[in-house]
Every structure is written in structure tokens, then in C-alpha cells.
Structure 1
Amino acid sequence: MTTVRYFAAAEEAAGVASETRSETTLDALRDALVADHAGLGAILPRCAVLVDGARHDDDLPLTGSETIDILPPFAGG
């Protein structure tokens, strides 16, 4: 199962710090996250979504062994 970790405002919107998922593409995962956590709908498009530490296209196949980090924009300088 793929592990999804949420940080800062994404964690607040999802209501969990992490969860395991079974979607087979990054695009399907994004859609399922919004369906399961309505609060993510407004924030997910602005978040960095990292698969094992790197950005990828939405059609990336997921094997189930990835760690996905959902990172909202951070303010600061």
C-alpha cells in the first residue's frame, strides 16, 4: 500500500497525519483524496505532491511501495 503523509494545513484539511492508499496512478490518488477528504479540495491544487521525495506527472503509475508527501505552500523568507 502507498503511504500518504500530510503536513501543516494539508493535515488539518485531511483530518489525519498519514494513511495508506491503493490507487494505481498519482492522478487517481489525487481524485480519491479529494473524494475522501472534502477539505483537501481547496488546498490540494496548491500543494506540492512528492513521490519518494520528487515531483512527478499525474500519470505516474503507483506500485504501492511509494511514500507520498502532501506539502502545502509555506510562507516565510
Structure 2
Amino acid sequence: MPTLRYFAAAAEAAGTDHEEVDGVDVQAVLTSVRRAHGPRLAHVLEHSSLLLDGQYVRDPSTELSESSVLDVLPPFAGG
């Protein structure tokens, strides 16, 4: 099952820093966690960057494997 890793505000909104989520592509996984964690995480996801196995991903139809790791990186303050 793909693993989501949450950082900063995403971890706070999800109530965890990681979880395994069933899904065949990025969109399916994000839809699942939006339903599971509600509007607060949904809002954070709208403003977050996603890294799939260390590579920036923008296309929600990008397929995931059982061993995929999807990082949710909200905007960070500072620099």
C-alpha cells in the first residue's frame, strides 16, 4: 500500500506524520485522505507540493505502486 508522509501543517491537520493509504494513483489517495481527515487537511493539500519517491509530481493521474512514498509538503515560512 502506498505510504503518505505528512510534514508541518499537513501532519498537524492529519493527526499523524505518516499513514498507508490504498489507491492506484495520486488522485485516489488524496481523495481518500480528504474524506478520512476532513476539511482542514483538504485545505492544506490545496496549497501543498507533492513528492512521489523523491520527485515532484503535479499530475494527479500519476500511478502509484505498493511501495510508493508520497510526501505532502505544505508551504514553509522562512527561507
Asked if these proteins are the same fold (TM beyond 0.5), I'd say yes
TM-score grouping bracket, smaller chain normalisation = over 0.9
Tell me the matched-pair count.
77
- Post-superposition, which runs of at least 4 consecutive aligned residues in structure 1 deviate over 6 A? none
TM superposition score normalised by structure 2 = 0.91
Tell me how large the CA RMSD over aligned residues is.
0.9
Letter in 2 for 1:37: H
Aligned counterpart, 2:19: 19
Shift of 1:33: 1.0
* Structure 2 residue ranges without an equivalent (≥5): none
Shift of 1:5: 0.5
Aligned counterpart, 1:74: 76
Within a 5 Å distance, the mapping from 1:1-77 to structure 2 comes to 1-38=1-38, 39-56=40-57, 57-77=59-79
Q: Secondary structure at the match of 1:16?
A: coil
Once residues 17 and 76 of structure 1 are traced to their aligned partners in structure 2, the CA distance between those partners, rounded to angstroms, is: 21
TM superposition score normalised by structure 1 = 0.93
